[in-house]
Amino acid sequence: MTTAKDIMHTGAQWIPAHETLDRAAQLMREHNVGALPISASGEQDRMIGILTDRDIVLGCVALGHDPSRVTAGDLAQGTPRWIDAGAGVDQVLEEMQSHRIRRLPVVENKKLIGMISEADLAQHLSEDQIALWVERVYAPS
């Protein structure tokens, strides 16, 4: 059985809630990623959200706010979703489809070990699986 750990990319980078969005953008560029899990201030392993490049643009820049004054924690909202490293691909797809998310942190022994993105799915799924995932995640509500 193919698992979340098999299809994820490793090296997911945390951003502390107190860090500014300009620093988040720098980390995204350095690590060539479009999303960073947000950790509670002082608690590296407790995820309070996920910050995406889109969040920075729509939740800060497009509103005329200064990204050097807005923190990752300011944009953290909702309940962060994650998947256990041993979960099967069907579980990964169900989690992403049911919550309409495009990136999913992978956790093993309560530690973040990686992230599953659209690119990871494209590399590991059949065309039929990808088509169904796209339809369910991107279809209008």
Query: Average pLDDT of 37-55?
Result: 84
Rounded percentage of the chain residues whose pLDDT exceeds 70: 96
The model's pLDDT over 109-131, given as tens digits with 9 standing for 90+, comes to 888 899 999 888 888 888 888 88
* Stronger pLDDT, 11 or 63, i.e. the higher one: 63
* Residue 104 predicted with pLDDT over 90: yes
* Residue 133 predicted with pLDDT over 90: no
* Stronger pLDDT, 26 or 102, i.e. the higher one: 26
The DSSP string of the chain is: --BHHHHSEE----EETTSBHHHHHHHHHHHT-SEEEEEETTEEEEEEEEEEHHHHHHHTGGGT--TTTSBHHHH--SPPP-EETT-BHHHHHHHHHHHT-S-EEEEETTEEEEEE-HHHHHHHS-HHHHHHHHHHHHS--
